[in-house]
Amino acid sequence: MSTLQEAPQDRIFTVPNILSLARLVGVPLFLWLVLVEADWWALGLLVFAGLSDWLDGKLARALNQTSRLGMVLDPAADRLYILATLIGLTIRDIIPVWLVAVLVAREVAILPIAPIVRRLGYGGTLPVHFIGKAATMCLLYAFPLLLLGDHDGGAATAAKIIGWAFAIWGTGLYWWAAVLYWAQTRQLVLAGRGSSPALGPGSAHDPGGTGGPRDPGAEPPAGDQKGAETPR
C-alpha cells in the first residue's frame, strides 16, 4: 500500500461532503425565497436541507467517509440555515427580536471554546453532544412551522402553536448544550493543569497514557458525556 495514500479523515471529495456543500449553497437561495415570500419553495428547500443533514451523517458512517472537512461543514450548514431563517423571519416580523438576541448570545457564549481547546494542544473541536444536535433539530423544525403559521386558516394556527413549542424547547436545549460544552472544556483545562510537563504516561503531552507526545491533530476526548457523538 502506498504511504502517500490519503488518510480517511483528510478526504475532501466524499458523498457526505458534497451533500453538505449543497446545503451550504442553498442558504442564500433560501433567504431570498423567504424575503420574497415564496414560502412553499423556501419550505421545500428546508426539507431538502433537513433530509441531506440526516443522510450525510448516515452515509459518512456507512461508507466510512468521515473527514475533518465534514466536521466543519455539517454544523456550519446548520448554523447558517438557522441564521438565514432568523434574518428572514425577523425582517418579516414573524419572530421577535428578543429570540434572535437569545440565540445569537448563545453563539457568542461558546466562541472562546475553540481557541481554548487549540491552546491545550488539540487540533479539532469538541464532540457534538446529543443535546446540541437535538436543539438544532428543534429549531430547524420550529422555523418552517412558524413560517407556515404566518398564513391564514386553522392549519396555519396549529403550525404556529407547534412551531413556538419547538422554538422554546430548542432555545432551552441550545443553551443547555452550551453549558455542557463549557463543562467539558473546563475538564480539559483542569486535566492539563494537573498534568506533569514531562512526557510520561498520563501527562498533558500524553493524555492517552502511552508515553508519547500528543498528536496536534487529535480530537479532544468526549469525557463522561453519555450519548455524545463525534461529528463528521
Report d(CA 66, CA 5) in Å as an integer: 16
Report d(CA 24, CA 183) in Å as an integer: 30
Whether residue 56 is predicted with pLDDT greater than 60 in this model: the reply is yes
Cell for 196?
Answer: 506533569
Averaged pLDDT, 64-69: 71
Report d(CA 53, CA 167) in Å as an integer: 19
Radius of gyration of the chain (CA): 20
- Please report where in the chains the cell 402553536 appears, as a residue: 161
Report d(CA 179, CA 77) in Å as an integer: 22
Averaged pLDDT, 157-166: 94
Question: Phi/psi of residue 229, each to 5°?
Answer: -130, 140
Report d(CA 154, CA 40) in Å as an integer: 17
Whether residue 196 is predicted with pLDDT greater than 60 in this model: the reply is no
Whether residue 72 is predicted with pLDDT greater than 90 in this model: the reply is no
Report d(CA 40, CA 16) in Å as an integer: 26
Report d(CA 141, CA 139) in Å as an integer: 5
- Ranges 29-38, 64-73, 98-107, 163-172: which has the least confidence: 64-73
At 219 the pLDDT is 54
Cell for 164?
Answer: 413556538
Averaged pLDDT, 57-79: 74
Q: Which of 68, 137, 220 is nearest to 228 (CA)?
A: 220
pLDDT tens per residue, range 92-102: 999 999 999 99
CA distances from 21 to 14, 25, 116, 117 (A): 11, 6, 28, 26
Whether residue 172 is predicted with pLDDT greater than 90 in this model: the reply is yes
DSSP state, residue 208: T
pLDDT tens per residue, range 137-151: 898 889 889 999 888
